[in-house]
Amino acid sequence: MTAEPGRGAGPGAPGPALRIDLFLLAGLFPGLTHAGALSAAVDYAEAAERAGFDGVWLAEHHFSAYGTCPSAVVLAGHLLGRTSRLRVGTAAVILPNRHPVALAEETALLDAVSGGRFDLGVARGGPWVDLEVFGTGLDRYNHDGFAAALDLLLAGLSGAATIAGDGDRFAFREVPMVPVAARRPPVWVAATGSSTVELAAARGLPLLLGMHDDTTAKAEMLHRYATAGTRTPPPGHASTHLAFVADTVEEAETVLRRTMPAWLAAAGGSPRIDGTAPPRRDPAAYLEHLLAIHPVGPPERCVQRLAATIGATGVRRLLLMVEGAGEPARTLANIERLGREVLPPLRRLR
């Protein structure tokens, strides 16, 4: 069993041991069925354990081919059973779609049966049609609704024997928590905006930082977190990166330019709850942005770029998105090569 995220130092300072994980979306690339994309994600997680990664994080999406996993908790339970050493986390459960007490029960269950290998990451998500389909409504997406759900979730994981809801959004009689959380499992918050950063900071919860921001933007977000008036020391945070190893930069970029734009085009496919179309970005231009800031190319370049993020932000957990090549065989080769040629020099960093 591995330790939960450490309480980290600031940028440039020594922190807890560096942890390097996979980030899996189970994306629907050409030639894959829904079942095939999910089966491939399981194969990638098992390959990650063989390659020496510390953990695997699972994305959750609804009604979108960008990711075919609608329940990161369910897939996490399967992977915890298929692996023996990896930590498995959710990056992230869309909390406005779920009842916080039910999610707390499931989290305590997975923590107990896995020997403490489960990390729960939650996200606010967007004003998507999910809120209509699942009946939770736009109020649960708004800042106050998300905060209320997060607080109830944390109460359910506090180790208390009972829980009750006495607010406007969650009102219910006192009931026993079964199973009672033996300890609070690690809880993370995916954040892309300042209000969510401040919400996580106020509760002392670490951040899951996405792929779209460069190192400077991530450092600024963590500075906002550190100055938000937390009552506990800032914990270690996690940074997500597109990662693809090849012998040359040109080879790596050629592969990703062939596979990723069509897949990225599906990222904004879910309509808003008000019926309007979601904003669209140019997938080819977005890919060029990712290629310019992430570890793509020869191993030494991948190490250099990840080391720069560590040095500038102080993060001690890296999540590597490895599915960009689309083809399962090529993705498995990418995982193996990252484990052999990138992880060892990264772990020698201090």
Instruction: Encode pLDDT of 165-220 as tens digits.
Output: 998 899 999 999 999 999 999 999 999 889 999 999 999 999 999 999 999 999 99
Q: Is residue 179 part of a domain?
A: yes
The reported pLDDT for the residue numbered 103 is 98
The reported pLDDT for the residue numbered 231 is 60
- Between these two residues, 251 and 13, which has the higher pLDDT value? 251
Short-list 211, 207, 198, 203, CA closest to 184? 203
Assign 229 a pLDDT band (cuts: 50, 70, 90). Answer: low
DSSP H helices in the chain: 34-51, 72-82, 100-113, 130-133, 143-156, 194-202, 215-226, 249-264, 283-293, 299-313, 328-337, 343-347
Q: Does the pLDDT value for residue 51 go beyond 80?
A: yes
Please give the angle made by the CA atoms of 130, 117 and 214, to the nearest 5 degrees: 60
The reported pLDDT for the residue numbered 270 is 72
Assign 271 a pLDDT band (cuts: 50, 70, 90). Answer: confident
133 Cβ contact list (under 8 Å, min separation 6): 62, 63
Q: Is residue 323 part of a domain?
A: yes
Q: Is residue 342 part of a domain?
A: yes
- Predicted confidence (pLDDT) per residue in 3-48, tens digit: 333 333 444 445 578 999 999 999 999 899 999 999 999 999 999 9
pTM: 0.93
Q: Is residue 249 part of a domain?
A: yes
- Predicted confidence (pLDDT) per residue in 300-341, tens digit: 999 999 999 999 999 999 999 999 999 999 999 999 999 999
- Return the SS3 of 194: helix
Q: Is residue 1 part of a domain?
A: no
**Token reading at 217:** 């933007």
- What is the rounded CA–CA span in Å between residue 328 and residue 336? 12
254 Cβ contact list (under 8 Å, min separation 6): none
- Split into its structural domains, the chain has a count of 1
The reported pLDDT for the residue numbered 150 is 98
Residue type, 236: G
Q: Is residue 308 part of a domain?
A: yes
- Predicted confidence (pLDDT) per residue in 125-175, tens digit: 999 999 999 999 999 999 999 999 999 999 999 999 999 999 889 999 999
**What range defines the domain where residue 125 resides?**
19-347
Residue 56 belongs to a domain with what CATH number? 3.20.20.30
Q: Is residue 3 part of a domain?
A: no
